Amino acid sequence: MSGQPQGGSPPQHSLAFRVMRLCRPSFQAEDAVFRLLDPLDLLAPEDLLDDPTLPLDLLFDDAAGPDARVANSDFTFRDRFQIRSPVDAMSLSGLLVLPQSFGNIYLGETFSSYISVNNSSKFEARDVIIKAEIQTERQRILLLDTSKSPVESIRSGGRYDFIVEHDVKELGPHTLVCTALYNDGDSERKYLPQFFKFVVSNPLSVKTKVRTVKDNTLLEACIENHTKSNLYMDQVEFEPAQQWIATRLEVDEHTSETNSKTRGLFKPPILVTAGGGIYNYLYLLKSTVESGRVRVDSSSILGKFQITWRTNLGEPGRLQTQQIYGTPIVHKDIDLHILDVPPIIVLERPFLVHLSLKNQTERTLGPFEIFTSPGISSEEKVAMVNGIQKLVLPPVEAFDSNIIELNMIAPRLGVQKISGVTVFDVREKKVYDPLPDVEIFVDRA
């Protein structure tokens, strides 16, 4: 192995790497529209008018007669081997374009590269060990290593070709490192490294919003296309966490039953247009955890998305998002709520309000005291406790509940509220959050 000499020129190598990315060409839609709208394409070959010897007046002049027109216009394409440019062999000229250098490489795609080791010297290169690897900021991925079976010989003017593939899973700068260790014409062992750099970009972004309505959680996901190509979504699947069940909410544009069945069998892919196009998805999430039975510390994790797509010419891509978090669920030790209120409440007449005090822990809590919080002004339109101002309740077992009857009276007409009902744990000396206000309507007898 020889290195670069100190103070001198770099060593001369017999071998050199040539790298070409393998990918499908891009489709230039603007040129395609222009070419397909050319009326001459319906009458003659593409390069018919490029022939300087062709008398155009015979093609369009009826006076010349049909025999003359047919004789001078070759509709059989039998002379298409006489092309003046390589692209003339294609029926649609200039529509399919290969990327310059490595082109745009996006996260989730498969990077495929055709690598050729060329021997441009006059001597044979022997016992060639070739390695190819991808280097990122985090890791190095070996793509090819011929150490165990070196290439026996690459003759003068010859080459050794191979293809490597890598599933792109990281953003940012990447380097394709190609190295060769070989014996040159003087039987000297030489080492050749070459580096090919490219940057991986994010093809799309997923923005989410989470809303909670009573016991239901709504998850909205907006997919935005950051590429210069249309993306056709093959699959956008939300994988919920263990304690959730997800259902996608969508509106079927086809209202008839027949069309709805057909749409289910032949569902067209969803198009997200190039350069900032968006598409929204909405999911309904329901918890599988029974209320008050299991405490799940990671319940704020909703799940993640699996997204697959294809470009205009079918290039596949696949991404998986990170975990999506919702609003953390606050686990209360106790739950105090109203079971029922009399439908008719008469002014200054006692009425009973039934409450439920539920223990949501795995241990026994209590005993408790139920009372109305102090500081409520008599001028406020609030129902008052009638009789004993403080109720004493026995301890409540784990995941069990007690039913409480609260005797109240309404001192004013109209809309009033039941407010300030508070629970106090006598043993732990702890005051829990008061009962949320409940509005009632007070009428005359």
* CATH code, domain carrying 387: 2.60.40.10
pLDDT given at position 215: 67
Q: Range of 82's domain?
A: 29-89
Return d(Cα 318, Cα 25) in angstroms, integer: 19
Say what the pLDDT of residue 28 is. Answer: 56
Quick one: 130 exposed, middle or buried, by C-beta within 10 A (0-12, 13-18, 19+)?
A: buried
Over its C-alpha atoms, the chain yields an Rg (Å, rounded) of 39
Same domain assignment for residues 303 and 195: no
pLDDT in the model for residue 327: 72
pTM given for the model: 0.57
Q: Do strands 110-119 and 159-167 pair parallel, antiparallel, or not at all (unpaired)?
A: antiparallel
Task: Examine the domain organization and report whether 66 and 137 are in the same domain.
Answer: no
Domain termination site, one of 149, 173, 201: 201
H or E stretch covering 352:
strand 351-359
pLDDT for position 69: 42
C-alpha 210/C-alpha 218 separation (Å) is 6
**What gap in Å lies between CA 125 and CA 105, rounded to an integer?**
34
pLDDT of residue 265: 56
Residues 6+ apart with CB under 8 A from 231: 203, 204, 225, 271, 272, 274, 277, 309, 310, 311, 317
- Are the C-beta atoms of 357 and 332 separated by less than 8 Å? no
Q: 193 and 264 share a domain?
A: no
| DSSP helix/strand/coil, 366 | coil
Question: Is the distance from CB of 371 to CB of 434 less than 8 angstroms?
Answer: no
Considering the domain architecture, whether residues 77 and 187 belong to the same structural domain is answered as no
Give how far Cα 132 sits from Cα of 106, 152, 172, 263, 284, Å: 20, 18, 19, 47, 47
Q: Is residue 436 domain-shared with residue 346, that is, in the same domain? A: yes
Segments of the chain with pLDDT less than 50: 1-9, 30-38, 40-47, 53-78, 80-81, 91-93, 253-260, 262, 291-298, 375-378
Task: List, for residues 29-44, the tens digit of each pLDDT value.
Answer: 544 444 444 454 444 4
How many domains, the chain?
Answer: 4
Whether 397 is in a domain gets the answer yes
Indicate the residue type of 177. V
Contact 223, 233 (CB under 8 A): yes
Domain stops at, among 39, 68, 89 = 89
Same domain, 263 and 292: yes
Question: 267 with 378, same domain?
Answer: no
Of 146, 173, 201, which residue is a domain's last?
201
